[in-house]
Amino acid sequence: MNNQSIFIMIVFICCIFPSAAKERPNIIVIISDDQGSIDINNYGAKDLHTPNLDYLAKSGVKFTQFYSAAPLCSPARAAILTGLTPHAAGLANNASSTKGTRGMPSERVTMAEYLKPLGYTTGHIGKWHLGFTPETMPLGQGFDYSFGNMGGAIDNYSHFFYWHGSNRHDLYKNGKEIWRDSKYFPTLMAEEADKFIIDNSDKPFFLYYAINLPHYPVQPSEKWRKYYQNMPMPRRDYAAFISTMDENIGKLIQTLRQQALLDNTIIIFQSDHGHSMESRSFSGGSAGKYRGAKTSLFEGGIRVPAIMSYPNKIQKNQVREQMAIGVDWLPTILDYLGVPINNLEGKSLKNVIVHSTPSPHKIFRWKQGLTWAVRKNNWKLIGYPNDPQNKAPLDPENDSLFLVNLEDDVQELTNLRIKHPDKTQELLSDYLAWEYADISDVPREKQYIESLAKSVKVILINQPDKSYQANGASSLVDEALGERAFKLGNWLGFKGDDLVAILDLGKTTHFEQVIVGSLQHTASWIFQPEYIEVSWSNDGSNFSPPIRIKNELTVNDNRVIINRIQFNQENIHARYIKITANNIERCPEWHSGNGQKAWLFIDEISVL
């Protein structure tokens, strides 16, 4: 059954039972932004004051093994709204924050589009980040009302987007830009949420309340800054931002109570994914004992706090340890409404909630950029893992496939790949059976190339970014070739700068070929060099005129492309070789990072 057939079926059901709409529960789905795995008092963060989130957890069911469908904002939200994995939802990476750019395809059926035919008034408040064209903005995706920012982040006072290109104002109401200069965005959202509830208190409503806290910029209210004033940074401002959010959720609960709606309202709360370790976030969040953070498929990147409160139907103080996923909310809601939907990738959690039955998921798969994971029962296999927290070393050669048993090692510190090769192969096969997997996702044995420049002295004129400096200049001449998983490999990353390297071969040497390894992954803002230049010298000062080798650039391609750019010339005798790899410097116009600094990734320089 296709989505159009489902839509018609729901309309048909609604027409047959019109009186049932009055009895249906109101539905509020609250999504926080970059909130750490344990960052609610009830989830273990005893240094945080979160009485309202604690109240929600105690008023219904709290999940302890709940996962985001992605460790990144847009795909996680697309999965929640459609009940589909991000790839099936058509948004596997972050949507652009630039007006006029598409995001999740408008053909996908959202939670709002499922609920409208059932008599629900539908509202969006807060962050969208799922598309910035009329058909992919909220009003084009089934919402009757919308207030908030369309991109990935805004300043909470000016409502400007200050990242990735020119400063842009981003505050919209029902698809049209509005201005609320200097008004605190969390307060504006809370006021809009209260108004939406009050205006629709006489009929069932669905509110998608996508709070942009505690995402950067971390700008808590003064009240909570004072409350946490003795806490050290960066936890202090992050904690104050969490409590700012919690206070506004409390206002929403109070409004529901005043309108006599609380008992018949489903309230779902979930963080979109783990906390951010980005420098502009100040990294104040916590995953507790879990490894990983935002962008990572270790538990700290995808295991999130998740709560469902429905006083009329769910008993208080329930805890469920069964595995559940963000894609499950839509089928769960529809199940409570008596509208079963069978073609979603998410599964209803109603039986888990009511009867504590086993998880409806025997297996689940994630894929985010280069990294991927599959969980089957308590076993979990990660391909090309990354850990923004750096809780333990990751060996590029031995840890590109990382196997854990979460029952024994929820901290994911010990790789069991060698100890359990059969289980590794089983989960690898399970991953490759997924329609969105690819054989190129499987790590390969590291490749080496013999070189006359092995272990020679290398002088770098520009230094690589500290996030991508491998083993320093020596990694350029260790004969080990860089891999697809550039975050684990030997690549040196230059942000906006060229690679300029001088190799000292130690003595005059005969050579005829220089090969420079480069990488492109446009989704990560990494581009091939436009060209390389090679010159040589016997004294290290007077170099020959450089010879330029043009490189064919591959544009607008999200694949990982590894290129070995070759310079060939017969019968050269020299001690020093100077290599320049030209960075394009700025992301091109077609790219979502238009005008921002581009990355250049270079690895092995081979001399033959």
Alpha carbon 167 to its chain's center: 23
**How is 93-123 classified by DSSP, letter by letter?**
SPPP-STT---S-TTSPPHHHHHGGGT-EEE
- Check residue 590 and give its pLDDT: 78
Chain position carrying tokens 């089957």: 376
Please check the confidence at residue 94 and state whether its pLDDT lies above 70.
Answer: yes
Per-residue pLDDT tens digits for 364-390: 999 998 899 999 999 999 999 999 999
Query: What is the per-residue pLDDT for 1?
Result: 43
* Cβ contact 78:346 at 8 Å: no
Place 224 in a pLDDT band, splitting at 50, 70 and 90: very high
Give mean pLDDT, residues 574-594: 89
Around Cβ 260, how many Cβ atoms within 10 Å?
9
Name beta bridge partners: 51. Answer: none
pLDDT at 96 over 70: yes
Q: What is the pLDDT of residue 439?
A: 92
Dihedral sign computed on CA atoms, order 348, 350, 352, 358: negative
Rounded (10°) CA dihedral 146, 152, 157, 160: -100
pLDDT bin (cut points 50, 70, 90) of residue 404 is very high
Count other C-beta atoms under 10 Å from residue 122's C-beta. 26
Q: Is residue 264 exposed (0-12), middle (13-18) or buried (19+ Cβ within 10 Å)?
A: middle
d(CA 404, CA 418): 11
Confidence of residue 522 (pLDDT cuts 50, 70, 90): confident
Q: Which two tokens stand for residue 130?
A: 């799922």
CB atoms within 10 A of CB 508: 10
- Cα-trace Rg, the chain: 26
In the predicted structure, residue 147 carries a pLDDT above the cut 70: yes
The residue-averaged pLDDT of 314-342 equals 96
Q: Residue 525: its pLDDT value, please?
A: 87
How far are the Cα atoms of 414, 458, 486 from residue 396, in angstroms, in the given order? Answer: 15, 22, 9
Contact 565, 533 (CB under 8 A): no
Condensed to tens digits (0 to 9), the pLDDT of residues 532-560 reads 999 999 999 999 999 999 987 767 667 78
Tokens encoding 495: 């942000």
Residue percentage of the chain with pLDDT more than 70: 95
User: What mean pLDDT, rounded, does the chain reach?
Assistant: 93
165, 522, 587 from 527: Cα distances, Å = 17, 6, 8
Question: Which stretch of DSSP H or E encloses residue 392?
Answer: none
Integer CA distances (angstroms), 565 to 17, 364, 398, 559, 568, in order: 68, 40, 28, 18, 10
- Structure confidence at residue 297 as a pLDDT band (50, 70, 90): very high
Q: Outline where 25-130 has alpha helix (H).
A: 51-59, 73-82, 86-89, 111-115
Exposed/middle/buried for residue 294 (C-beta within 10 Å: 0-12, 13-18, 19+): buried
pLDDT at 471: 82
The stretch 428-438 carries a mean pLDDT of: 97
CA distances from 570 to 175, 340, 574 (A): 64, 72, 12
Give the C-alpha separation, 215 to 274, whole Å: 11
Q: How confident is the model at residue 164, as a pLDDT?
A: 65
Half-sphere exposure of 347 (CA within 13 A, CB side): 17
**The pLDDT value given to residue 9:** 56
* Mean pLDDT, residues 64-73: 98
pTM: predicted TM-score of the whole model, two decimal places: 0.88
Q: Is the pLDDT of residue 328 over 60?
A: yes
Length of the chain: 608
The predicted structure's pLDDT at residue 488:
65
Helix (H), strand (E), coil (C) string for 398-431? CCCEEEEECCCCCCCCCCCCCCCHHHHHHHHHHH
